Amino acid sequence: MPRYKLTLAYDGTDFCGWQKQFPHQDAVTDAPRMDSGIGFQPMIPDPPTESHRPEADAAPTRPRIELRTIQSVLERAVRSVVHQPIIIHGASRTDSGVHARGQVAAFSTIAEDDARGRGGWPVERGTHALARAINSRLPHDVLVAGAEVVDESFNPINGALSKGYSYSIWNAQERTLWDRRTSLHIYHALDVARMHAAADVLVGEHDFAAFAAAGHGRATTVRTVHACAVHAPRESLVRIDVSGSGFLWNMVRIIAGTLVEAGRGRLSPDDIREALATGDRRKAGPTLPPHGLCLEWIRYA
């Protein structure tokens, strides 16, 4: 029963995040559909006229549908390759609009002969062929960058030792065309040196309560940031790189928003220290939009 680890890259613009969503029991599956890019929107019939209304209609008239997610798209592709009802487990539940260069997922198959002699994916077929087969069934905005055989106990979530994220900002008066899907446009000039000095304050083990979204659902807000740096890889592009043992909900996007405020001269390193010490969300910066965020890598033992 081989288990495979997949390294994934995707453009999250047209996805509703990583985690798959299932339609409700009252979902309409045979209605005419229009592809909106984010999900399939059934065409909604006109509401009943005043002369023809059900007396008691507790159920909503608008049908509910499954949203387009990376996990569901990948799961369907892998199932069509191995001809088995496998389940994909991902390492990070990225939000809607967030991108990835190094997402990790895993699945297991059972080597067996079906009517076509192709059940499962035996190890001897090779991981390169597996990646190619899956990619041939994936849409253009998802790619399996690598595949490898792992121990059957491999857990992409619990086994992760550290993760690295980046947040990209297009810092210029004019908006960008080619980077518009992967960077946030900020036309106010940012002081990269001030941002980098502020980023140093976040390195280490701290209580990041001020840098977490409400309802994060974690028992503790103490996290360790291994590195946090700000640099300009090319003209007009500012990139924030953050790595750590784990992150709270929206933590990286709030860190990015805080560093932007520092780059505009609105927050100092001492202000950030105070936010860490008090845990007051109001003392940190805003939560930046998701499209500038990218999951760069995940490391395992």
| Residues annotated as part of the active site | 95
Gap between the Cα atoms of 141 and 27, Å rounded = 26
* H helix and E strand count, the chain: 5, 12
Q: Tell me how far CA of residue 207 lies from CA of 58, 184, 195, in angstroms.
A: 46, 27, 20
In this structure, how many other beta carbons lie within 10 angstroms of the beta carbon of residue 286? 12
197 by Cβ neighbours in 10 Å (0-12 / 13-18 / 19+) ranks as middle
Q: What is the DSSP string of 149-213?
A: EE-TT--TTTTEEEEEEEEEEEESSSPPSTTTTTSEEE-S---HHHHHHHHHHT-EEEE-GGGS-
Q: In this structure, is the dihedral angle defined by the CA atoms of residues 169, 171, 175 and 177, taken in order, positive or negative?
A: negative
